Structure 1
Amino acid sequence: MRLHSFKPALLLAGTLICSSSVFAANMAFSGELIEPACSLDKDTIPVNMGMTYTQYLYKYQRTVGTPFELLLKSCDLTHTNKVKITFDGVRNANLPTFLIVNGSTVRGVAIGLETPSGQALTLGSSENYALLAGNNVLKLNAYLQGEPNALLNQTIRPGSFTSTATFTLEYF
């Protein structure tokens, strides 16, 4: 008999332990969709890096920067006055902050990006720039860098090359 009186008590205890409360609430979302502060002058920006002798790279490790510009047109500063630029692309395995070069024979080099003052732009990292109303010209450089082992062993292989970088503009 004692066993029978224990079952209802156990059932009641289980019901109390498993009881739960349900609450509901609403979430309200709001925001504003705006146009970008500036427009780009071109979708593709060609950078002709010219010809470089392998001996030059063995002596100096890198080329002098080749200037290029990003033209941001018709900047409207109503909602923002700064832009964050992030460059990215396929990275060189031996120089992971540099772009890989594509070519049938070329080996041992990579492409780096920098400001005109020589500050390196790391792929995947951002640089902030202040904007002015109207047109803004962002001046940058690209350069060819020898890979450390290729420089040490003098195994840079010449040839034609290409590379592609992408960049994103984030206004804030």
Structure 2
Amino acid sequence: MRHERVYKGWSCGGLALLLTVGLASNGHAADNLSFKGNLVEEACTIRPGDEAITLELWDITSKHLYINTRSQGRGFKLHLEDCDTTVGKTVTITFGGTENPALPGLLALDGGSGASGIGVGIETLSDKPLPLNAVSDEQVLSDGSNSIELKAYVQGEPNAIRDQTIEHGAYTVSSTFTLDYP
């Protein structure tokens, strides 16, 4: 998972120069190319190391999934530091990634995974699902350090459970997250 950041104004200028040079080398002039953006102030910073989290989910048997359809959630935290409530009083999080077509809202396994017939979901500590590309409820911030606590779980695909065709093996899923301070 990674935190998407807003790029500062000088990065956009560098990109514009690169594109202009690229267009000029092909013999074309671009006088209608412009970039717009906003330089924003974030209410919090992410603790170093939390911008790329690896969560080890425990081993789970297909038998458990055939009986229960999913595992219990495994908790993880995103640590926010140096929060300034004069900039933002709340934060929301949105997870993105490749959606499992058989389990809408859950992450699909990455290519190269040995397992199949499962997806990975994200939920709040109170077991409220947080589907992909859906904005979470607002969490109130306090000045200083805060954390966003969530859980990840494994769920069997309906057809794989019905037909008992979940394949064993190692798997990975990838997701990005975006924090917004509304």
Q: Shorter-normalised TM-score: what interval? A: 0.7 to 0.9
- Amino acid in structure 2 at the alignment position of 1:118: D
Corresponding residue of 2:126: 117
Tell me the secondary structure at the aligned position of residue 58 of structure 1.
helix
Count of aligned residue pairs for this structure pair = 141
Q: Mind listing any 5+ residue stretches in structure 1 that lack a counterpart?
A: 1-31
Aligned CA RMSD, in angstroms, stands at: 1.2
Corresponding residue of 1:106: 115
Q: Does 1:62 align with 2:70?
A: yes
Q: Which has the larger radius of gyration?
A: 1
Q: How does 1:26-65 map to 2 (within 5 A)?
A: 33-41=39-47, 42-65=50-73
Stretches (4+) displaced over 2 A:
32-35, 102-105
Tell me the secondary structure at the aligned position of residue 151 of structure 1.
helix
Q: CA deviation at 1:129?
A: 1.1
Corresponding residue of 1:134: 144
- Amino acid in structure 2 at the alignment position of 1:67: G
- Amino acid in structure 1 at the alignment position of 2:166: I
Normalized per residue, which structure has more strand?
Answer: 1
Tell me the secondary structure at the aligned position of residue 121 of structure 1.
coil
Contact 2:41 2:87 in 1 (8 A): no
Tell me the secondary structure at the aligned position of residue 65 of structure 2.
helix
- Amino acid in structure 2 at the alignment position of 1:108: G
| TM-score normalised by length of structure 1 | 0.79
CA distance in 1, matches of 2:113, 2:73: 24
What CA deviation, in whole Å up to 9, does each residue of 1:135-156 have, x standing for no partner?
1111100000000000001000
Determine what percentage of the aligned residue pairs are the same residue: 39
CA distance in 1, matches of 2:148, 2:74: 14
Contact 2:78 2:148 in 1 (8 A): yes
CA distance in 1, matches of 2:122, 2:87: 29
Corresponding residue of 2:159: 149
Tell me the secondary structure at the aligned position of residue 120 of structure 1.
coil
What CA deviation, in whole Å up to 9, does each residue of 1:10-36 have, x standing for no partner?
xxxxxxxxxxxxxxxxxxxxxx84421
Corresponding residue of 1:163: 173
| TM-score normalised by length of structure 2 | 0.74
What CA deviation, in whole Å up to 9, does each residue of 1:16-64 have, x standing for no partner?
xxxxxxxxxxxxxxxx844211011122111110100111111110000
